[in-house]
Amino acid sequence: MIEFILNGKKVSTKVPDDTPLLWVIRDEFHLKGTKFGCGISMCGACTVHIDGDPVRACKYPVKLVNKKQITTIEGLNNEHPLQEAWIKEQVPQCGYCQSGQIMQAATLLASNKDPSEKEIVAHMSNNLCRCMAYSRIKKAIKTAANSTSETVSIFDPALNGQKEI
């Protein structure tokens, strides 16, 4: 049995331990915001945070998350400045890549309050948007960075919820 913390809640799974985390999140815990695009770590649609780092869940065997903290798009709880910026800049087209884009961008802002254009591109260039909404993704990241220039707080329910568990 593998135990971990998913969006602040302690959970466990009994699936074969080579199962990619993506399918556990989506099909066992029914959190469908994390998407399947390529299955080979090349598109970023499945990006989640493991202990605050961006990880491609489609290639990440669930056995490696034992005792770790996982945050998915649902775990941002609609409170992350990036989500607001995404609406303000009207970023999504089909929207399928956007959970992954937001999760990837969130780890940039967590460590870099005011990223330059270059830093944004370097951090985001492994996330494919097939609708090619790239200009707006870039713009929204800047908007979010500016809106929180004081403190960039990355909302992580795992950090809040952990004590109670």
Partner 1 sequence: MNNLNGIKDKIQLSRRNFLVGSVGASLLMAFSVLPGKSMAENAKKALAGKIFSPNVWFEINERGEVLINIAKAEIGQHIGTALARIVADELGADWSKVRIVHVDTDPKWGYMVTGGSWSVFHSFTPLSQAGAAGRIALLEAGAVLLGKNGNECEVINGYVKCGEKSISFGDIVSKGQFNRIFTVEELAALPIKSGKNRQFIGKDTMALDIPSKTNGTAKYGIDVEVDGMVYARPIVPPSRYGNSITKVNDKKAVNIPGYLGYEILNDPSETLQGWVCVLATSYYSAIKAGDAIVVSYKKSPATKVSEEQIQIEGEKLTRDKNAGNLFVDDGNVEQATLEAKINLEASYRTASLLHFPLEPVNATVEFIDDVCHIHTGNQWQSLTMPLIAKALNVTQEKIVMHQYYLGGGFGRRLFGDYIIPAVLTAKAYGKPIKMVFTREDDSRFSPPRSPSVQLFNASVDAKNNVTGIEHAFAAGWPTLSMAPQFMFESLDKKGKIDPFSSNGADHWYTLDNHRVRAINNKLAQDTFLPGWLRSVGPGWLCWGVESFMDEIAIATNKDPIDFRLSLLDGRGKNAGTAPVSNHGALRLANVLKKVRSQSNWGGELGENEGMGVAITYGQERTMPTWIACVAHVHVNKSNGKVTVKKLSLTVDCGTVIHPDGALAQVEGGVLWGLSLALHEGNEIKKGQISKTNLDTYTPLRMGDVPELDIQFIESDEISVGLGEPGVVTVAPAIANAIAQATGVRLRSLPMRPDDIIQFLKERESNKIG
> Which residues in this chain contact ligand FES in the complex, by CB under 6 A?
36-39, 41-46, 56, 58, 92-98, 129-131, 133
Choose the contact partner of 135 out of ligand FES, partner 1, none; CB within 5 to 8 A by kind: partner 1
For residue 81, the 8-state DSSP code is: H
Of the candidate residues 9, 11, 15, 161, the single one contacting partner 1 (CB under 8 A)? 15
Contact 103, 31 (CB under 8 A): no
Q: Enter the tokens of residue 14.
A: 């009994």
Cα 129 to the center of its chain, rounded Å: 15
Closest approach, Cβ 90 to ligand FES, in A, equals 11
Q: Which is nearer to ligand FES, 15 or 128 (CB)?
A: 128
Output the CA torsion sign for 103, 104, 106, 107: positive
Contact 122, 111 (CB under 8 A): no
What is the Cα–Cα distance from 13 to 27, expressed in whole angstroms?
Answer: 11
Per-position DSSP letters for 106-143, written without gaps between them:
HHHHHH-SS--HHHHHHHHTTS--TT--HHHHHHHHHH
Closest approach, Cβ 132 to partner 1, in A, equals 4
Q: Which is nearer to partner 1, 137 or 163 (CB)?
A: 137
Q: Which is nearer to partner 1, 69 or 99 (CB)?
A: 99
Least Cα distance to 14 among 47, 76, 62 occurs for: 62
The interface mask with partner 1, positions 62-81, x = CB under 8 A, is ----------xxx-x-x---
The interface mask with partner 1, positions 33-52, x = CB under 8 A, is xxxxxxxx-xx-x-------
Residues forming contacts to partner 1 in the complex (CB under 8 A) are 15-16, 19-20, 23, 27, 30-40, 42-43, 45, 72-74, 76, 78, 83, 86-87, 90-99, 102, 120-122, 124-138
